[in-house]
Amino acid sequence: MITKKDISFIQPSRNNLKYLKWSYESIRKNGGPEPTICVADDFSNDGTWEWCEDMMVKDPNFKAIRNEGPKRLGHTILYDELVEIADTPIVGIYHADMYLCPGALESVLEHIKPKHVVSLTRIEPPLHPDGPEKILMDFGTEPEDFEKLEDELLHQIPSLKQGRVTEGIFAPWFLFKEDFTSIGGHDPLYAPQSKEDSDIFNRFLLNGYEFIQTWDGFVYHMTCRGSRFNPTITEVGKESDEWLAQNIRSTRNFIRKWGHFVKHDSLMKPIVPPKYDVGFKITNGNAQILNMLEPWCSHIEIDVRGMDVGKYIDFEQPNTQFNLVDRINTGRNCDIIVEFDANKLTQYSYNIITELSSVLESSEIEVGEFELDIFKVKVNKVKTYENELIHL
């Protein structure tokens, strides 16, 4: 029988000790002493490691590792390092700015089984747009504010339970450790953070896992204290420059890998269009067009000056693990060739490019040629590759 002692909370942390302590106390208060709490200190300078050392002495079910720096690893890497040291069959990806509500772990245990991923429902202050997958209620954006409102939240919990499940997935999510490690965990392509969750959710879906969001188990989530709204580098509601820059890098890498933007339904269940081997053949190109369109294909042939290609690779290569030399002007013949004149590119045309995977899928393409807007499309082979992306 699976019990609370079979669960490990996986919590990377960087310079947010105040929230980490708050989160820890909620797990022990409302989850009990049995679950293991695994914390990774990502080269913090706010006393996080000293607190971790103290907690490892006081709490037999507390584990911690430290990134000695000086480079930040980010939670994309540290999640997986913590999963490795967890010695329980179930692991839960958890944030340091989350308060575990009473009954949450009981709800996880009710639904957890192999090849199932269970997400708790988030109660959040209105810092992000509302959505049907969460509950917007303001119980403070700092632990000291929450302390005054905690009793009110606890009073509300019974009335918030809905006795249903939906198919979304987002943090906090729990699954069997074997199901996490068998596909290779998170992809370091997205380190230090951003889009690593959407990537692994796609891979879970393609590997046949079922998603369960329980509406009887909750966390109060202050949101984004790791980087996006970390008060040591920005302020609540103002995205940090660090997060914005990394989000751009990770978005471009997600597109290179999957061929589309992140997609999900209204309740946050992933949508994964087919991944095709698409090559662009572009006339009247320039450096701006190269920068804009390179991520959207497997290979790009573009008539720009050689020095522009070299400058682009020198600038962009540090941002990706994809070998850009192999992706630009090598003459590789892809399964599908999309030829067009960059001078004719409009916003409508660009929108087609961003939805090309879905467009090709809905067109039920066959070997041959056809035209779409400004594009001449030649289909040499009809094959999709999304299932090859499941395992790292």
Tell me the per-residue pLDDT of 231-242, one tens digit each, with 9 for 90 and over: 665 566 567 788
Distance in angstroms (rounded) separating the CA atoms of residues 205 and 130: 25
The answer on 15 and 132 residing in a single domain is yes
CATH number assigned to the domain comprising residue 151: 3.90.550.10
pLDDT digit string, tens, across residues 336-367: 999 999 999 999 999 999 999 999 998 889 99
Is residue 107 located within the same domain as residue 26?
Answer: yes
Same domain for 67 and 200, yes or no, is: yes
Residues 288-302 pLDDT 10s: 999 999 999 999 999
Q: Are residues 85 and 233 in the same domain?
A: yes
**Tokens standing for residue 373:** 């807007």
* Closest by Cα among 213, 329, 191, 315 to 264: 213
- Identity of the amino acid at 3: T
- Burial label for 343, CB within 10 Å (0-12, 13-18, 19+), is exposed
> Do 41 and 94 sit in the same domain of this protein?
yes
Q: Is 217 among the domain residues?
A: yes
Give just the sign of the alpha carbon dihedral 249, 45, 224, 103.
Answer: positive
Last residue of a domain, one of 205, 223, 258: 258
Give the tokens for residue 106. 């009981």
C-alpha distances in Å from residue 74, one per residue of 78, 181, 200, 246: 6, 19, 16, 11
Tokens representing residue 389 in the block: 């992306």
Query: Does 215 share its domain with 253?
Result: yes
Domain assignment of residue 110, yes or no: yes
Residues 235 and 296 in one domain: no
User: Is position 96 within any domain?
Assistant: yes
Q: What separation in angstroms does the CA of 310 have from each of 190, 268, 296, 313, 317?
A: 24, 40, 19, 5, 10
The torsion defined by the Cα of 242, 26, 51 and 236, in degrees rounded to 10, comes to 30
- Examine residue 352 and state whether it is found in any structural domain, yes or no: yes
**Is there a domain that residue 268 lies in?**
no
Q: What pLDDT, on a 0 to 100 scale, did the predictor assign at position 364?
A: 87
Which parts of the chain sit beneath pLDDT 50? none
Check whether residue 240 and residue 382 sit in a common domain: no
Asked if the structure places residue 313 within a domain, the reply is yes
Note down the domain range covering 356: 278-389
Q: How far apart are CA 328 and CA 174, in angstroms?
A: 41
Residue 296 sits in the same domain as residue 247: no
**Average per-residue pLDDT in the chain?**
95
Nearest alpha-carbon partner for 94 in 68, 119, 115, 72:
119
Number of domains in the chain: 2
